[in-house]
Amino acid sequence: MARRSRAREVVLQILYQEDLNPDADPGLADQFLRARLNQDENLIAFGRYLLVGTREHRKKIDQQLERFADNWSLRRMAATDRNLLRLGGFEILYSNTPARVAINEAVELAKRFGGKHSPQFVNGLLDRILKSMHAEGNA
């Protein structure tokens, strides 16, 4: 597994945990990152960047997800899918990760951790966000 893919996997685990346990101590996330990424400072920094960015932009990301998720509300989505979409949404909307890389990474995580239809669902929704950015001139 590529190193950055591993960081995304760990960040997904943290986002999932925080989603299901909103009162959890956010400081534990950093300890988890450090332990799971074997004290690799570059990977830990990348993981922190993804985690902090996803947290900071969560409300706007969720608005975009609601906008493009036909007949789906965020609360009805599987927690894994919801948090994969948030992470992928952050990378597409706010980071310098190439959008296609962000989508491919999210789909690969969906294959590993999601349900039977998660890869297609995640791919379709993130692709709609990307296409809207292009149509609105933001990409």
Residue 114 sits in a domain whose CATH number is 1.10.940.10
What is the spatial distance between Cα 31 and Cα 26, in angstroms, rounded to a whole number?
10
Is 114's pLDDT higher than 80?
Answer: yes
Number of domains in the chain: 1
> Which residues make Cβ contacts (< 8 Å) with residue 44, sequence separation at least 6?
7, 33, 34, 37
Q: Is 0.85 topped by the overall pTM?
A: yes
- Over residues 59-68, the pLDDT tens digits come to 999 999 999 9
Is 1's pLDDT higher than 80?
Answer: no
* Structural domain of 24: 3-135
Residue type, 7: A
- Over residues 76-107, the pLDDT tens digits come to 999 999 999 999 999 999 999 999 999 999 99
